Amino acid sequence: MLPHDSIENFIGYLRDQKGYSLHTIRNYHTDLRHFSQFLASRETSQDSKRDDHEIDRVDPAAIREYLGSLYGSLARSTIARKLSALRSFFRFQEKKGLSRSNPAADIQTPKLEKYIPGYLPVDEVFRLLQRPKRDKLLGLRDLAIMEMLYSCGIRVSELEALNISSIDFEERLVKVVGKGNKERIVPVGRQALKAVKDYLEATQSIRKRGSGCSRENPLFLNVRGGRLSVRSLGRIIKRYAREIGLSSDISPHSMRHSFATHLLEGGADLRSVQELLGHVSLSTTQKYTHVSLDRLMEVYDKAHPRS
């Protein structure tokens, strides 16, 4: 097994010094505990008498065996993330002098499947935005949520973290805290701002009762007056998508994909879209061009007489 203290110290390092997102920290924590359980079962089956508190006992063969056991039950992207967690963990132990080497350093990352993001055509996004009932509080909230996702292209975790103070209504800007605790400023459309204003106005009495009128309080509230969770945000989008007959695969991330794709199809340059999405690497943004090229090919095949 991996020593419990070693895992917790590493997680604390990711949180306090590296500024990793809560989502990544949670995944890495789960990955390391899962690997530790694998080691425990492996040692039991081999009747090993090794000291399970020695990190140096973990060798590349054990990691390869672990990764091999995951194939067929997990996506390659998930297996790649688990390997990344192990690499980072053992690199940290090596720097601290608790391990002589990193047994995961030379293990090849699984070749990932080519992933082209799913997105909604403009008319389907508009249908989705027309679905919430404007005469009900939850309808106003859900409309504001979907308008913000589509207008700003932010991640669902970034939306969850928004406070009232995150929005500058005069300048039409939103301050977003993204991956690695990095801040960026993104523009927000007038329709989205109107939806948010209507929602804030409708929740004034609720916020006053719960001392939630401060600009530092959550923008989107659950029925108990607390911050709306990522999971709840996902359920909201899926429910409306299901109601209008869209695929069950539609998620908050589909709104982000739609945002990027529609900008590119409308003539926005790749660098600008990269900044808006908060991507560190341009190659991450380039996957959206495949969607646009597919659309161009479809138009070409239909319209060109010699296609």
Catalytic (active-site) positions: 155, 179, 253, 256, 279, 288
The type of residue at 185 is: I
Q: Which two tokens stand for residue 164?
A: 């009232």
Rounded Cα–Cα distance for residues 53 and 49 (Å)? 12
Residue the block writes with tokens 């940290």: 92
Residues 6+ apart with CB under 8 A from 224: none
Please name which of 155, 130, 119 lies closest in space to residue 243, comparing C-alpha atoms: 130
Report helix, strand and coil shares of the chain as percent, to nearest 5. Answer: 60, 5, 35
112 within 8 A of 25, measured Cβ to Cβ: no
> Token pair for residue 144?
């504001």
The whole-angstrom separation of Cα 193 and Cα 161 is 17
Q: Determine the Cα–Cα distance for residues 181 and 208; give it in Å rounded to an integer.
A: 30
Q: Assign residue 211 a region: left if phi > 0, alpha if psi is -120 to 50, beta otherwise? A: left
Compute and round to an integer the Cα radius of gyration of the chain: 23
191 phi and psi angles, rounded to 5 deg: -65, -40
Give the HSE-up count for residue 6: Cα atoms under 13 Å, Cβ half-sphere: 24
**What is the Cβ-side half-sphere exposure of residue 220, based on CA atoms within 13 angstroms?**
27
